[in-house]
């Protein structure tokens, strides 16, 4: 209360000198004195008379004496847009398999995640995904055709599990018909993405 009285007295002294200087003017002068956080003491100089403005008085564009909450500034969180590759070219990925196996190895799981990232980065929807099973030239031709299809189905199932629609995936088996004689390389599924 003592602080308020001191501030009020200082304000009145300043206003008295201002009143004397402004006595000739008939214009409405507003004086605001901050008291504490968010509070002001408002006075008007009207016809050489100092008037304290209270909430029950109405003056245009004059904030009456009182406490007002400080305006709250809300910061908006800026979320960067996803990286979109405008024109995704056809791209091929490869998942490799162990001899006579159709289960996906850990390195194949990494490749499947790369495929999903590539598809999500394309601007338009993916039209078709080819899952092409291949085998080395060991085993019979019929056995390798079936093994190539099992591998293609395994990769397709994994892609479906990662969110790719089943109707976008076409399965193909080449068996050993594309074998190069490099057994490790021949035991693979080629995944061709056509955006």
Which residue ranges form the domains of the chain, and what is each CATH number?
A: 2-67 (no CATH), 91-194 (3.30.1330.60)
Contact 70, 101 (CB under 8 A): no
Residue pLDDT, tens place only, 37-53: 566 666 666 666 666 66
Are 155 and 95 within 8 A, CB to CB?
yes
Dig out the tokens for 15 from the structure.
């206003």
Please indicate whether residue 120 or residue 149 has the higher confidence score (pLDDT).
149
pLDDT at 87 over 80: no
Residue 92, beta-bridge partner list: 192
DSSP run (H or E) holding 19: helix 2-22
Give mean pLDDT, residues 77-92. Answer: 65
| Residue-averaged pLDDT of the chain | 76
Highest mean pLDDT among 13-17, 18-22, 30-34, 129-133: 129-133
- Cα 41 to Cα 58: distance, rounded to the nearest angstrom: 15
Asked whether residue 69 carries a pLDDT value surpassing 50, the answer given is yes
Lowest mean pLDDT among 58-62, 134-138, 182-186: 58-62
Token representation of residue 124: 């338009």
pLDDT grade, residue 134 (50/70/90)? very high
Task: Say whether pLDDT at 79 is over 60.
Answer: no
* Range 118-130 average pLDDT: 82
Strands 169-175 and 128-134: parallel
| pLDDT computed for residue 16 by the predictor | 52
Confidence of residue 23 (pLDDT cuts 50, 70, 90): very low
């Amino acid at each position: 209360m003592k602080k308020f009285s001191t501030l009020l007295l200082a304000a009145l002294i300043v206003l008295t000198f201002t009143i004397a200087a402004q006595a000739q003017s008939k214009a409405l002068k507003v004086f605001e004195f901050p008291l504490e956080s968010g509070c002001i003491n408002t006075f008007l100089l009207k016809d050489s008379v100092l008037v304290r403005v209270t909430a029950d008085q109405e003056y245009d564009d004059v904030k009456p004496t009182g406490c007002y909450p400080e305006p709250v500034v809300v910061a908006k969180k800026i979320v960067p847009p996803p990286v979109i590759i405008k024109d995704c070219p056809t791209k091929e990925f490869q998942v490799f398999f162990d001899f006579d196996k159709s289960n996906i190895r850990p390195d194949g799981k990494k490749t499947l995640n790369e495929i999903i990232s590539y598809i999500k980065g394309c601007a338009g929807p993916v039209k078709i995904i080819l899952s092409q099973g291949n085998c080395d030239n060991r085993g019979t031709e019929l056995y390798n055709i079936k093994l190539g299809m099992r591998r293609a189905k395994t990769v397709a199932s994994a892609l479906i599990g990662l969110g790719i629609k089943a109707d976008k995936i076409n399965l193909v088996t080449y068996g050993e018909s594309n074998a190069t004689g490099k057994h490790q390389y021949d035991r693979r599924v080629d995944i061709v993405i056509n955006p």
